[in-house]
Amino acid sequence: MSRTPLIAGNWKMNGLLSDGTTLAKAVALGAKGAACDILICPPATLLAPIKEALAGTTVHLGAQDCHWQASGAHTGDISAQMLVDIGCSHVILGHSERRADHGETDNQVALKAAAAHNAGLMALICVGETEAQRDAGDTMSVISAQLDGSVPDSATSENTVIAYEPVWAIGTGRTPTAQEANQVHAHIRAHLRGRLGTEGIADLRILYGGSMKPGNAVDLLAQPDIDGGLIGGAALKAEDFLGIVAAAVS
Ligand code: PEP
């Protein structure tokens, strides 16, 4: 089995041309020789210049969303083919902020993921429970339902990564314990194996996201079912992001 850790930075709606390209270059320089895969997902406006800034490095480029149609009358949207065209290899889908801010449904996320697969992109599909759902003891059933609705049948280890992001941990400085997070990751793996079979997703990577920092990354990334991190706030400072990269390989 081989699940190379993946450390992915979700810059969200942050970064202008100058500071964004400077940050990308600093990450690429500091991550030289890292034993994990590294992905940067800047806002769409920075995809082209950051592709250029990352030329000749091993850092991957990803977007934060795509539409499920290839083209057409969808003002403001971007298709999976357009992302490939500009040099992306990955796309984040179903982030809780898109589900909350844009009313994205599980079914739409599954359509987007299938479109990403068809275009040759790695779909990074996010799931996670709210605090109320956690308090009600519903975490595992909520996650199972999100996986059933958001992960298309075309998912394999080669075209899909799952990110477990408890909504209550995103941007709050709070996290589950590493053991609690690992239990959810193990549940995600078992649930998807039950549905999709073991062969196609034998090496499926499951990232943890939600207030991961250099200080808690070592514990989280040491867990057997945690295969990397999806990083928000800490991805905006090269030093913090690289601290997490270092934890992934230690
Ligand atoms: C995220 O939004 O994907 C995320 C994990 O954010 P943060 O690291 O800031 O909690």
The average pLDDT across 19-40 equals 97
Element (H, E) at 127: strand 122-127
Token pair of 26, please? 């600093």
Task: Show the DSSP H helices in 86-213 as ranges.
Answer: 96-102, 106-119, 131-135, 139-150, 178-196
For strand 37-41 and strand 228-231, is the pairing parallel, antiparallel, or unpaired? unpaired
Q: Say how many residues make up the chain.
A: 250
Assign 3-state DSSP to the chain and report helix, strand, coil percentages, each to 5. 45, 15, 40
**Residue 250 confidence (pLDDT):** 53
The answer to whether 185 touches 164, Cβ cutoff 8 Å, is yes
Classify residue 121 by its DSSP letter: P
Token pair of 122, please? 């790695």
Within 10 A of 216 (CB to CB), how many other CB atoms are there?
Answer: 18
pLDDT exceeds cutoff 70 at 1 = no
User: Which residue from 230, 236, 241, 244 has its CB within 8 A of the most atoms of ligand 1, so it is best to mutate?
Assistant: 230
Q: Delimit the domains of the chain by residue range.
A: 6-88+96-249
Active site residues: 95, 165
The model's pLDDT over 64-122, given as tens digits with 9 standing for 90+, comes to: 999 999 999 999 999 999 999 999 999 999 999 999 999 999 999 999 999 999 999 99
Element (H, E) at 163: strand 160-164
**Residue 249 confidence (pLDDT):** 72
- Give the residue whose CA is nearest to atom 2 of ligand 1: 232
User: Which CATH number does 6-88+96-249 carry?
Assistant: 3.20.20.70
Scan for tokens 């075209």, then name that residue.
159
Amino acid letter for position 131: E
Show the beta-strand stretches assigned E in 27-75.
37-41, 60-63
- Give the residue whose CA is nearest to atom 8 of ligand 1: 232
- Compute the mean pLDDT over every residue in the chain, rounded to the nearest whole number: 97
Within 10 A of 173 (CB to CB), how many other CB atoms are there?
Answer: 10
The average pLDDT across 21-28 equals 98
**Residue 198 confidence (pLDDT):** 87
- Give the residue whose CA is nearest to atom 1 of ligand 1: 232
The answer to whether 39 touches 62, Cβ cutoff 8 Å, is yes
Residue 173 Cα, ligand 1 centroid: separation in angstroms? 10
CB-count burial class (<10 Å; 0-12, 13-18, 19+) for 87: middle
Q: Is residue 147 within 6 Å of ligand 1 at its C-beta?
A: no
Scan for tokens 């149609």, then name that residue.
69
The fraction of the chain above a pLDDT of 70, given in percent, is 99
The model's pLDDT over 114-155, given as tens digits with 9 standing for 90+, comes to: 999 999 999 999 999 999 999 999 999 999 999 999 999 999
Classify residue 8 by its DSSP letter: E
| pTM for the predicted model, two decimal places | 0.98
Scan for tokens 């200080």, then name that residue.
215
- Give the residue whose CA is nearest to atom 6 of ligand 1: 232
Q: Is residue 5 within 6 Å of ligand 1 at its C-beta?
A: no
Which range among 33-42, 45-54, 57-66, 241-250 shows the weakest confidence by mean pLDDT?
241-250
Residue 58 Cα, ligand 1 centroid: separation in angstroms? 23
Looking at the CA of residue 211, tell me the nearest atom of ligand 1.
10
Chain centroid, CA 24 distance in Å: 17
Q: Is residue 211 within 6 Å of ligand 1 at its C-beta?
A: yes
**Residue 71 confidence (pLDDT):** 97
